[in-house]
Amino acid sequence: MLENSGLFDSKAIKAQFPTLSQVVSGKSLVYLDNAATSQKPLCVIEALENYYRNNNSNVHRGMHELSRRATEAYESARNRMALFIGAESSEEIIWTRGTTEGINLVANSWGTQNLSANDEILLTTMEHHSNIVPWQLLAERTGATIRYIEMDAEGHLDLTNLEELCGKRTKIVACTQVSNSLGTINPLEPIISQARSVGALVLVDGAQAVPHQAIDVGRMDCDFYVFSGHKMCGPTGIGVLWGRKEILDKMPPYQGGGEMIKLVQRNRSTWADLPHKFEAGTPNIAGAIVLARAADFLEEIGFDAVKEHERNLLAYALEQLGAVEGIKIFGPSDQTLRSSVISFHLGDIHPLDVSTILDAEGIAIRVGHHCAQLVMQHLGVTVTARASFYLYNTYGDVDRLVSGLHSANNIFAP
C-alpha cells in the first residue's frame, strides 16, 4: 500500500500534525472533516509563532528593521503563491480572507462595472453558497440573469446543453473545480472553451482542489482563480484571488482605505498599482507568510504522492463502506471522477445521530447541507453525513469509521 511505501508514509506525515495526536472521548482522534478545514503541521504552527515572536510589524511603510523583515517575508510569500499556482506575475496574486472574499471581490468590482440587465451569469447547481450568493446579489443590483448548469443523477455536471446555456449574453461563468459536497471533479476544459467562444470570462473556485493537486492557472486558461489557505494546511483568514493582470488593471477597488491609494486629495483619490489596489488596510501579514510555508510543506511531500495516496484511500473507503448495512453513498460511481469526499446516509438514522455516535468514538465527520443546498435539493435530502480525507489519513482511520457506522446500526437496530 502506498501509504506506508518509501514514496509516502502517511503515519509519519500524521505524526507532524499535533492536533491528530490527541484523545477524544477516550480514544485517539480520527479527523475526517478535511473538506471543512485541514489540520496544521508543526512547521506551519512554528512559522506562525516565529512571525509573532520575532518579526511582528506592519508592512511596506516602516523604515525600521522589523518592518523591513515583515515586508520582505510578506511579499516573498506573494511570490511563492504565484509560483505555487503557475501565475505569470506576483502582481496577479491578491490576498483575501479566503475563497468567499475572493468571489465577492470579483462580483462587486468586475461585476458591477461590467454587467447590465441584458447580461447573464452562468453557475452550476453544484456550487458552494459562496459561489452563488455573491452573484445573486450582483444580479439584484444590475438586473442580470443567473442561469445554471444542472447535474445528472450521479452528481456530474450535465453539459449536453452547454452551448445553449453559455451564449452571447453570458458575461461570466463561475464554476467549482471540485465539489465540496459530492467530491465530483468537474471537466473544466469544455466549460472554459465554450466561455471563450462567446467572449465570457471564467472564475474557478479551487478551494477543494488546491489542497490535493498541483494547479497551473495558465494552462487552465481561466480568468480568475480563488482558494483558501485553511483547507491546505495553512491558517484561517487568508486566501488568494488570482486574476489576469489585464483584467485586474481595469477593475475598480473593492474597498477603500489605507495601503490601496496612490494619492488622496479633498475630492478624489487615485489608486495604488496592482496588487495593492485591492488590499485596503493592514493585511493578514502572518497569514500570508504562513500560507507560503504550507505550500512548501505540500510540495515537499509532492502532489503526485498525495494524489496517489488519496486515490488508494478513497478506493479502500468506498469498498469498506459498501459493506455497511443500509449505507447510501452519494456522488459519482467512477472513482477517477471524484475526490476524497464521501457524502452518505445510513439507513433511516438521521445524520446528526450518526455524527453524535461517531464523535463518542473519537471520529470527527461533518453533518449538514455543506453550504450546498442546491445539491441537497437535487439529491432530495436536507442534509448528509460527510467524511473527507486528506494526506494524513490512514487505512486505520477508514477502519475506525466503518466500525463506528456498524455501532450506529447496532444502536438503532429494531
**Cα separation, 171 vs 402, whole angstroms:** 46
275 touches 93 (CB < 8 A): yes
Residues 206, 339: contact at Cβ < 8 Å? no
Q: 201: helix, coil or strand?
A: strand
Grid-cell match 444580479, residue found: 139
What is the arrangement of strands in the sheet containing 327-330, beginning at the earlier edge strand? 327-330, 341-346, 384-388, 366-368
For residue 414 the three cell numbers come to: 429494531
CB–CB of 100/256 below 8 Å?
no
- As a whole number of angstroms, the distance between CA 133 and CA 146 comes to 11
Residues 6 or more apart whose Cβ sits within 8 Å of residue 146: 120, 121, 122, 123, 135, 136, 139
Q: Which of 43, 175, 233, 371 is catalytic?
A: 371
37 neighbors 230 (Cβ within 8 angstroms): yes
Joined grid coordinates for residue 68: 523591513
Is 371 a known active-site residue?
Answer: yes
> Can you tell me the distance from the alpha carbon of 204 to that of 232, in angstroms, rounded to the nearest whole number?
17
Q: Which three cell numbers stand for residue 385?
A: 453525513
Partner residues linked to 367 by β-bridges = 385
Identify whether the C-beta of residue 340 lies closer than 8 Å to the C-beta of residue 313: yes
CB 129 within 8 A of CB 371: yes
β-pair partners for 147? 122
Interatomic CA distance for residues 151 and 182, integer angstroms: 11
Q: Are 35 and 176 in contact (CB under 8 A)?
A: no
Positions marked catalytic: 371
